[in-house]
Amino acid sequence: MKWAEFAQAAPELATLARRRFDENRLGLIGTLRQDGSPRISPVEVFFVDGEPLLGMMWRSRKALDLVRDPRVVVHSATTDPDGSEGDVKLYGRAADVADPRVRRRYADVLEERIDWRPQDPFHLFSLDIESAGYIAFGKEPVAMRWTQAKGFARLRHPND
């Protein structure tokens, strides 16, 4: 499911997720290595025309993992030990973006936001979201999840 569909199905969760990635840009992705073991790597998440995109260096290990096996988790980087900033995870599949117009728009957005433009070749992936979760601790604790099969749910917070 593309981001717009996910945002329609779980607007509160999508809003919190987008805010986390927009605030920090930095995320962590979990991929599967060729031997099946997990790999975790940093990645910057940029929304381009409403869609989260993941750009990666050409032939980087994480990109080659996704080319071989598109299953992925994207986690918002958390920096506060108390967890009050919120923690989002997007689970799904990465899809190679070959459309030159989208790749150009991605480069335009990076140039606007961080004053840097990627040069070809580079890998670019969109996300097909299958499930998502969000949790925050501190003064405003919240826990929620969304899956394609069960839809959106507020969960009992572990601190309750």
Say if 142 falls within a structural domain.
yes
Q: Write the pLDDT tens digit of every residue in 1-32.
A: 999 999 999 999 999 999 999 998 999 999 99
Name 51's bridge partners: 48
What was the pLDDT predicted at 138? 87
Structurally, the chain folds into a number of domains equal to 1
Copy the structure tokens of residue 40: 């975790």
Residue 159 maps to a domain = no
Instruction: Identify whether 160 is part of a domain.
Output: no
User: 67-114 pLDDT, tens per residue?
Assistant: 999 999 999 988 888 888 999 999 999 999 999 999 999 999 999 999
What CATH number should be reported for the domain holding residue 17? 2.30.110.10
81: containing domain: 3-154
DSSP state string for 56-107: EETT-HHHHHHHH--EEEEEE----TT-TT-EEEEEEEEEE---HHHHHHHH
CA distance between the termini of the chain: 32
Dihedral pair phi/psi, residue 97, rounded to 5°: -105, 110
